[in-house]
Structure 1
Amino acid sequence: MKLSAELRAFEARIGHRFARPELLVRALTHGSVSSTTRADNQRLEFLGDRVLGLVMAEALLLDDKKATEGQLAPRFNALVRKEACAEVAREVDLGSVLKLGRSEMLSGGRRKQALLGDAMEAVIAAVYRDGGFEPAREMILRLWGRRIQSVEEDARDPKTALQEWAQARRLAPPKYVELGRSGPDHAPVFTIAARLDNGEEAEATAGSKRQAEQAAAKALLNRLESA
């Protein structure tokens, strides 16, 4: 298979030249455009998530040889979560080469955090299957490099941080309540409230329940910590 000039340029951005170009094509194929003869990237995404996790765990151990498991865990979560993968995807302009169905393209799929994060994990798996662990490891460390050095001990996702805030004050875990849903089926918008037993709550709206929950938790945590 011969890659287009656009995909060759993407190879240069991630720093890996594929011996099996079909792996890259599959990694960039979203389910909205797959068919019986055109596989999507979901299985590669599953594998890439595990490869990324192993590389990040090893990198964090080497970066701070005195850190405890309790210190390493939130750093690890910050580096492998979907938001971090999507940030890296944006830096290498993955969205411009993502293969999407018409409905996803019209709803801004090339900019969606979930799609970009999933595709970045799939690309990691494609590199792993194409060249083995070392090329995948080298690419991940190169693309995530500055994040590994700068990640903070308390870099945990907002839902986890809010739950820990509540537990420290002997409150029940936060509850997340869907207040509303709008937009078409292919591009829904959710409004979620994060609530605590003490009556505190905050709302947020996003293109997925997970993102809305994270945003609501962050808004509530910011309010509580600034009070």
Structure 2
Amino acid sequence: MNLTALEIKQRTFEKSLRGYDISEVNAFLSEIATEWEHIVGKIKDQDREISQLRDKLKHYERVEEALHETLQTAKENAEQRIETARKDARSKVETAEMEAEKILQDVRIQRQEIRQSILRLLERREEIIRGIGSYIDTAQKSLQSFSRDDSDIYALTQDDDEKARSEKKARRSEAKKNEQTKEKEKVAAPGSEDLDDILDELD
């Protein structure tokens, strides 16, 4: 049964002999109505406060749920990023290791090639040194030979000049004799033709 303060104030009772004092009853009812009105007001205030608290609770529950979802999403994203970062780091480490190994291999190959080139250059240098030494030995021997034979060569040159002059003198003497013989033949056989004319006739 729900009573209001107005209903309490307006409540009436039957009159009887030797009953309660009406004024006291009315005063008490008025006091009860006032207190009841106060209690009802407090209850309404509490109901409003409870309603507000319920609304806040629902809001906080929604916020908590959203935060939980956000936290879960952030956690998943963080785990995914961490895993991606780990994979990327492993990939980069593996790539760096492969590149470093390739660089080391290239360095080894280049070092071997340089070593072979140095060995070839050293061998070539030794060959050149041996060739120069051989050439110097040959040149020294030739110079020594030229020094020993210098006087002989000079003597041979003088002998050759003398022989050439003698041969030239003999050729001149022979030519003079031949000319004298031809002159004699012309005198002994008049009318004989010149040798060039005879050759022309034969042609």
What is the TM-score normalised by the length of structure 2? 0.15
Greater relative CO, 1 or 2 (CA 8 Å, sep 6+) = 1
Larger Rg: 2
More strand by share: 1
What is the TM-score normalised by the length of structure 1? 0.14
More helix by share: 2
